[in-house]
Structure 1
Amino acid sequence: MTQSLAPAVVPMNDLSRGIDRDREDFARVFDEVLASGYVIMGPKHAAFEQELAKYLGVLSASGVASGTDALEIAIKAAMPAGRSIVMTAANAGGYTTTAARRAGYNVRYADVDANSMCLSVETVEQHLSSEIGVVVVTHLYGNLTDINELVAVCHSHGVKVVEDCAQAIGARLSGVAAGSIGDIAATSFYPTKNLGALGDGGAIFTNSEELAVRVRELRQYGWSSKYRVTRAGGTNSRLDELQAGFLGVRLPLLDGLNERRRSIVASYVAAAMDGPLQVLPAASAHHVAHLAVALTDRRDEIRAALSLGGVQTDVHFPVPDHLQPGFAAAAQSLPITERLAQEVLSLPCFPEMTDDEIDAVCTAISALR
């Protein structure tokens, strides 16, 4: 038997492989949409919203045009009257800051827990005030942390909790899905996400009928009925029929694809044992391994060595929000956030990776010793 050779370069991602896997079903959906005559908010869109809500165990799911739109609309829907500040973490790529500012609100940042890299009661509670109306919790890298106590503390201060599930769709903690713990949640269907479309898209989900009504009005001009604007702050943000159909193809595959991601990370964790690279585990259903993330205080050196071993890497995310020049945030110190920004790096992790590619990454990690 001829032994297969390890690839010369292991990519961070290769979207073409997932497209090839699903090509036949995508072609069927395309033909069905063309035949139906519906291109916006048609039967595929309605079916996907229902299927997504059922999958997550929530009352309502509403499709929108992007994950950023989803965050903006969710924040608008949840913001209590008379409040104007959104609190969030500064280590998640700037998406919440962008969405909150587009919604017309100011942003403040809290530091993150050193282990989960997410907001926690300990990092948030000390900053809560009567001005803060919404706390956005990002389940970073696919890790659904236990935020039940944080939600309770926020509610005791009259603060609503928005979950950003863009990296954690399908994660479950004690059987409860990411996005069903806080007041309302947002996700992205950007093509690299665990549940990715062939273009942009997003969704908002909630167990509150009141918030669901607000979302449906806000995503379409503020209409309560056609041409009747009754809610201020409306926009035009709709998930198109083709993307809804494509996502309907992939939703039943999501749990299996997430399990494949977890197995990839487990291989990396084993390869990194006792070495200079600490690969963060994704060992159970609460973590869907959107990214395979590692920590090292020798990042540039390690990335160069992995590159020589044929392994691409990336950094998610190198500049915290409060240090981004374009955000011009008030000066503050977030020591854990700032340290992690200097130490994190991402390894290839997508479910269509071959076993040879996974082995090549493990070999390169083991060689770091």
Structure 2
Amino acid sequence: MVLQNGPFVMANFPLNVLIITPGFAADENDSATIPYLQDYVLALKNKIGADHIKIITIHYPFIKKKYLWNGIEVFPVNGKNKKGLFRLYTIRQAVSIAKKLLKKDRYVLHSFWLTDAAMVGQFISKKYRLKHICTIMGQDAKASNKYLKYIDLDQITSVVLSKQLDDIFHMATGKQANHYIPLAIQKIHPLTNEKRNIDLLFAGSFIPLKHPEKFVETVISLRTTFPEIKAVMIGEGNLFADIQSMIRKTDNGMHIELTGNIPRAEVFRYMARSKILVHPSEYEGSATVFAEALAHGMHVICFDVGRTFHENIHVCENDGDMITQTKLLMHKQLNFEPLQEMTIDASADAYITIYNS
């Protein structure tokens, strides 16, 4: 972990944290919405208490009424990802909520993504001279992020989740993040009595960035060598119908099972039964799914995207190499020893150190 000095004002005690995010879980049963952030907030709650955390969620869920999530007050703005003038109105609404909260207490501000969430944090930070931390999560590090020109990076204490993400951020802005805290997940106790009867697993959104079609192509290419190959695809998205049709035409459901969106606990049960995560995404800041797969003893096949450097992560150069490396792994007697590099509790401790600096 790298900790350096950042541009902030001393925090007041007791520590109060205002989290600003584009989206958050709609209720305690919603395990699919930004699992990393849910894990982090719960870990932070265990450290400083629910009463000392408030959350402003800008776009999702699609409601405006305040609600409690595990005892923590959540203030939704209901921006619904609308653009143009409505986006400006949404930002103003989020700022208004923050101002009301600041009439009662002072907060350390922690935004997630260098987007409108960071803009809200920046405005409040400057007006009230509050410390503002922003965790850079993924595509927001890229030069294509239109919000970068509106955000004063010198007034934000920035955190990245991976070294690769810091390199991308540096290429886009000429700056490096103030801190590096590896992506962490809740402590996982994998089910050791599960039989590994799933060869290949896809877990993610069915969107162009994630290239679910390449997973299907990999399975189809391996059928002749492994006629009993079993694969599962977890998730949904705007490509779901296309993938469904592709599987019907090329596989007829013989080797590939589609689950749709399922609760996180059920995803973990599939991971405990799976050997290899094939992740053909073209970009990741720092993939939560890699950490989850490793914690369940899986091997990971991916392109050179946000990742932990570990012998069980196998990086491919192109589509053909992905098929080749998957084939080689399937021929091997694999070791399924669980690995969890960093727990979310340790991550919360690292952030609290920054909050209190």
TM-score normalized with structure 2 length: 0.30
Which structure: greater strand fraction? 2
Pick 1 or 2: higher relative contact order, CA cutoff 8 A, min separation 6. 1
